[in-house]
Amino acid sequence: MPQLVEIRFKGNRKAYFEWHEPEPLRQAEPVIVESERGHDFGLVSATGGVAQQKCDRCQSCAVGGGEREEGHARRAPEPIRKVVRRASQTDRRAMEELRRQEDDVRRKVREKARAHKLVMKVSDAEWQWDRNRLTVYFTADKRVDFRALVRDLAALFRTRIELRQIGVRDEAARLSGIGRCGRELCSASWLPELRPIGLQIAKDQRLSLNPAQISGPCGRLLCCLRYEHEFYVQTRKRFPKEGKVVRTLRGLEKVQSVDIFRERVTLRAEDGASRTVPLAELKVEMEQPGPVVEEASPPSPRAEPEPETPERPSGQPLAERGLEPASPPTERGPKPAGRRRGRRGGRRRRKGPGGAGAAGGPGGTPA
């Protein structure tokens, strides 16, 4: 039965291979393996059951089923290739010489990219052991049309050129570095795959949302935020939600905050008094019936007495008592327009038999 081994290449790139020889491979042993085009050089990073467990969780392994991340499609599995042989000292010296040449390769690729006016950052270059392929990794904010650049690089290095655009997290995994904890980056040391990390993971752990405190050297959220997220989610299910009003032995109280490590809950009563109780004690108080708080009903508005009207003696007319019946209210209409007076503002003149004014006319005598 072939032995399944995990092989690690440059930039924390890992793949799984089969070893068909009777003598098993040891960890950290250099080997020559099959590749897509030719042969490549790598180190054994895991063997036996450990390699099998990693392969079962790997999304890109053809042997294991792979765990599909929610909301992300599973990648196409890569075929399992074979380990050709153990690497010799000559193979190791040849690989070391290629690693020293990769610095000069990056410099030349950057010069060619500037000549083609391409907005891209060349991160790393990797030679295949048999020099049949040269892979260049770069980052860019947008898609880059590098077809002309590939032709120039193929003529310069006389080999097959492959340009791969990667993200900033993959760039940090290839270049490695030191994290906030003082250790090597998880993505560059042991983390098998880079899973997506959302801001909700930091909120569930009640962490500060300051980007400088929860971001890594790549500028994205820390990979370690995922390690304890499941613990926080499962533990908080045992606590009442913050802001919920619960009935205890002291009446109605509001959950102000919870401490999942000390298992304590801070409550605030209606009068503003707060107290901190253990979670077990709070559950006992919530199971026991507390005092019933009766809400005072608002006072009903008082009805005002209606004014009393004087009674009229029967059979006595209103005129004898000096009272007149009130006339019904009349609707006020528009005020009638007044008559227009004469120019001189005097009284209206009477017209005589001759048509002339009786008074005020020229030559007339007052009546």
pTM, entire model = 0.66
Measured CA to CA, the distance from residue 19 to residue 5 in angstroms comes to 7
For the stretch 340-361, pLDDT in tens is: 555 555 455 555 444 444 444 4
Helix (H) or strand (E) holding 3: strand 3-8
The domains of the chain are located at: 3-87, 95-165, 173-233, 245-287
For the stretch 168-192, pLDDT in tens is: 999 999 999 999 999 999 999 888 7
For the stretch 319-345, pLDDT in tens is: 444 445 545 554 555 555 555 555 555
Measured CA to CA, the distance from residue 173 to residue 185 in angstroms comes to 7
349 Cβ contact partners less than 8 Å away, ≥ 6 residues apart: 342, 357, 358, 359, 360, 361
Structure tokens at 111: 């010069």
Task: Report the pLDDT value the prediction gives residue 61, as an integer from 0 to 100.
Answer: 56
Q: Is the pLDDT at 269 greater than 90, yes or no?
A: yes
Task: Report the pLDDT value the prediction gives residue 362, as an integer from 0 to 100.
Answer: 44
Indicate the average pLDDT of the chain: 81
Average pLDDT estimate for 280-292: 78
For the stretch 39-94, pLDDT in tens is: 999 999 999 888 888 888 775 554 444 443 333 344 445 668 999 999 999 999 99
Per-residue CA distances from 77 to 9, 38, 56, 168, 170 (Å): 18, 20, 12, 24, 19
Task: Report the pLDDT value the prediction gives residue 55, as an integer from 0 to 100.
Answer: 84
